[in-house]
Amino acid sequence: MEISKYLRDHSRTIEGKQQLIIGAFARALEIIPRQLCDNAGFDATDMLNNLRMKHAQGALWYGVDINAESITDNYEKFVWEPALVKTNAIAAATEAACLILSVDETVRNPASEKPQGGPPMPRGGAQRSFRGRGRGIPR
């Protein structure tokens, strides 16, 4: 939640599409506490609003407390996580999302369906000059 808050604040200082991208990334980070609340049967919207409020007030370590069915200071409750684990998890998730988006963009980009300077390719992507041979059998 603290990283999400930081990214939201930072996105407000940027103009253009980058602002939307950073804001979406900040919202995506809030899926973690939302999923914790959903799995525990809590009202996720209420919990996230309380967490956002606490983090806006400067409470750096507040998170979901499953036992008390509320939010609490995880530092005082001795809930510690190694920073290296979080850093690696966020980096891996970001790389996976970028890979998915780049593949999606390649598939949907009409400009990539036709070669540079040549005639447009058929709808399937590759030119089909063979008829009924299949299975890699040469002509």
Helices (H), the chain: 2-11, 17-29, 31-40, 44-56, 83-108
Residue 54 has pLDDT above 80, yes or no: yes
Digit-coded pLDDT (tens) for 5-53: 999 999 999 998 889 989 999 999 999 899 999 999 999 999 999 999 9
pTM higher than 0.75, yes or no? no
Listed by start position, the domains of the chain span: 1-84
User: What CATH number belongs to 1-84?
Assistant: 1.10.560.10
Digit-coded pLDDT (tens) for 79-126: 888 888 889 989 998 898 888 877 766 555 566 556 665 555 555 555
